[in-house]
Structure 1
Amino acid sequence: MMQTLKRLAAVALAAAVPSLAVAQAFPTKPVKIVVPFAAGGATDVVARLLAQKLQEAWGQPVVVENKAGAGGNIGADLVAKSPGDGYTLLMASGSIVTANPHMYKTLTYDPAKDLVPVTNVASGPQVIAVNPAVPAKDLKELVAMAKANPKTVNYGSAGIGTQTHLAAENFSYAAGIDMTHVPYKGESAAITDLMGGQIQLATPNLAAALNQIKEGKLRALAVTSKERSPQLPDVPAASEVLPGFENAGWFGLMAAAGTPKDVIDKIQKDSAKILLSPEFREKLTQQGMVPVANTPADFAVAIREESARWAKVIKERGLTAN
């Protein structure tokens, strides 16, 4: 009996050693982070900041690749169908895995089965911004204008089902207004058209629109966090006009299902060390965001809880895609 137990222990140890060795050696070749939106948006900004630091830590190239379209589903599908080895990662915005499954009638992948959480990288608010030519000078005036002229306010987003789309829908619902949605392949494209006057409003992530706001190219009417942002202290929180309103966005690393747990844990730990460093925290703060750096298990719980909340909102609002 004792000999049998020893043999079983030896077999278990032998099985564990290769996995541990793989994790310790990872990465031995370039790593790709897929951003499922066009360059220039908040997801892209976060991915490139982290990629640079991971490259320094790992001594291997960490390349950001933009695969935009279908509310982030094209890029997410690419990662979901990639080998489960940790060398192709997804920088997901929250809506891809929490809202899209409830909005899209058909998806070519299952976010809950084909992707595994690594870590929530950063979180931050959106900003309700308008073209400077829009008559409304504050949120109250915007709501009054939209109520008096239903569907005449065109708002842009990074695509159907994206965080920027859902933020605007949440705002519309809370304010009791009806606006017209104009989806783009990324929030940078929506911001460009907002500055050009092709649309009147957008609710981009603060990180994506901060410079344009500070340069006067956009007028910020409110941020969607509970409190004012330190980056825009003179801009009110939407809750000051719409009590209880809040809408936060997040950006997290995910990998293809089947990626060894030891590899997932290594990516998480190396990323968390970077994210929680004073230098990186300051970089995120400048973009109006804060680091999260939670564990894969905690990240998975947060995704499930947010998915349940979006399921209810999407059903109540009758939001659908494809």
Structure 2
Amino acid sequence: MNIDRRLLLASLASALPFAPARAETWPDQPIRLIVPFAAGGPADIIARLIGRVMGEQLGKPMVIDSRSGAGGAVGVEAAARARPDGTTLVLASSGAIVILPHIMPSMAYDPLKDLTPITQVLAVPQIISVRPGLGVSSVRELVALAKSSPNPLTFGSAGIGSSLHMAGELFKLRAGVDMTHVPYRGAAPAVTDLLGGRIDVLMADTPALISFVRSGQLPALGVTSAERIAILPDTPTAIEGGVPNMVSETWYGLLGPAGIPADRVAKLHAAAMAALADGDTKAQLLNQGGRIVGSSAADFTAFIQQTHATWGEVVRATGVKME
């Protein structure tokens, strides 16, 4: 090798460390969005709405993967065990993240350690309703009746440990009343029995009750959000009705497995924000009866920690456990 060629190779080698790195092209494959509930339900609807716009923003489609079971825990566990490269996400609901871990201690994931929060998407409060003929028209009157009744009133839910169940337990705790829990397999049969007068009280997510409220079949005594909601502006909150700190919402959020690189979290978050700002998506999400949140990853992480602690206190105070 002559001297000129050696000099040329040395010059090229010395320049390599200073050559700019090529920008990462990511995602380079479709993103799997796990929905931990059956197709056609609120979580599935929300996932498809935001997934469409997120896919457009990211340049790769969001593929819906339904993994129902154990109140959402099956799907969340699948996400927690996935490779942390940002290509597997879950649209989880509050139950599997901040409630079930306290009443199912044998769960295979720790929501505070095994997941990467990206953003809280939507928060849906419960409507407090009662059976026709119960004789109360406000939260204050319901509390007074519950305190004076010789036999405990009954309240229904979508199952032990569900958001609806825990809303009822929180109401009992905050109002200082006793009511007997009647669990159902889902909200629909509980609504049916409320209409039929077989249970006294039901606190159900807005979409489950709004049509019956609008038709006059069931009353809306109050809502469990901190503020009144847009689709029921004349319905007071439970706090306005005299029940302090009565805030219970079923929320939905995007999370992935722990360890997703920060730049990919930022890219996923930006795509989610674009979805929540999309006019059609926004309108359809609001039609679910809640409020759009769109929190930062840091704020969502702090929110999960805070509500996880709150529901842990409620579970310990009420003794709720899976049977």
Q: TM-score range by the shorter chain?
A: 0.7 to 0.9
Return 184-193 or 312-321, whichever deviates more.
184-193
- Unpaired runs of 5+ in structure 1? 1-5
What amino acid does structure 2 have at the position aligned with 1:32? L
1:225 aligns to 2:225 (yes or no): yes
After TM superposition, list the pairs within 5 Å mapping 1:95-110 onto structure 2.
95-110=95-110
Distance in 2 (CA, whole Å) between partners of 1:131 and 1:66 is 34
Residue number in structure 2 paired with 1:85: 85
- Unpaired runs of 5+ in structure 2? 1-12
Residue number in structure 1 paired with 2:313: 312
After TM superposition, list the pairs within 5 Å mapping 1:229-248 onto structure 2.
229-248=229-248
- Deviation of 1:54 after TM superposition, in Å, equals 2.7
- Deviation of 1:253 after TM superposition, in Å, equals 0.5
Query: Per-residue displacement from partner, 1:272-310 (whole Å, max 9, x unpaired)?
Result: 122134444333333332222222222112211222222
- Deviation of 1:95 after TM superposition, in Å, equals 3.3
Stretches of 4+ aligned residues off by more than 6 angstroms: none
Query: Per-residue displacement from partner, 1:18-73 (whole Å, max 9, x unpaired)?
Result: xx62xx43252253332x33455543443232223334444544344444433322
- Deviation of 1:192 after TM superposition, in Å, equals 4.9
- Deviation of 1:264 after TM superposition, in Å, equals 2.3
After TM superposition, list the pairs within 5 Å mapping 1:24-35 onto structure 2.
24-26=25-27, 28-29=29-30, 31-34=32-35
Distance in 2 (CA, whole Å) between partners of 1:55 and 1:197 is 46
Question: Contact 1:98–1:303 (CA<8 Å) still a contact in 2?
Answer: yes
Residue number in structure 1 paired with 2:271: 270
- Deviation of 1:226 after TM superposition, in Å, equals 3.1
Question: Contact 2:126–2:224 (CA<8 Å) still a contact in 1?
Answer: yes
Question: Contact 1:104–1:321 (CA<8 Å) still a contact in 2?
Answer: yes
Residue number in structure 1 paired with 2:6: none
Name the count of aligned residue pairs: 308
What amino acid does structure 1 have at the position aligned with 2:154? V
After TM superposition, list the pairs within 5 Å mapping 1:34-73 onto structure 2.
34=35, 36-39=36-39, 41-58=41-58, 60-73=60-73
Distance in 2 (CA, whole Å) between partners of 1:268 and 1:205 is 26
TM-score by length of 2: 0.80
Question: Contact 2:29–2:60 (CA<8 Å) still a contact in 1?
Answer: yes
Identity %: 37
- Deviation of 1:222 after TM superposition, in Å, equals 0.8
Question: Contact 2:285–2:292 (CA<8 Å) still a contact in 1?
Answer: yes
Distance in 1 (CA, whole Å) between partners of 2:65 and 2:145 is 40
What amino acid does structure 1 have at the position aligned with 2:75? G
The RMSD of aligned alpha carbons is: 3.2
SS of 2:220's equivalent?
strand
Structure number, greater radius of gyration: 2
Query: Per-residue displacement from partner, 1:109-152 (whole Å, max 9, x unpaired)?
Result: 22222221111112232211234354433323433443314444
Shift in CA distance, 283/12, structure 1 to aligned 2, threshold 3 Å:
farther
Distance in 2 (CA, whole Å) between partners of 1:76 and 1:86 is 15
Shift in CA distance, 80/298, structure 1 to aligned 2, threshold 3 Å:
same
Question: Contact 2:34–2:79 (CA<8 Å) still a contact in 1?
Answer: no
Distance in 2 (CA, whole Å) between partners of 1:13 and 1:300 is 34
Residue number in structure 1 paired with 2:293: 292
Q: Which has the higher helix share?
A: 1
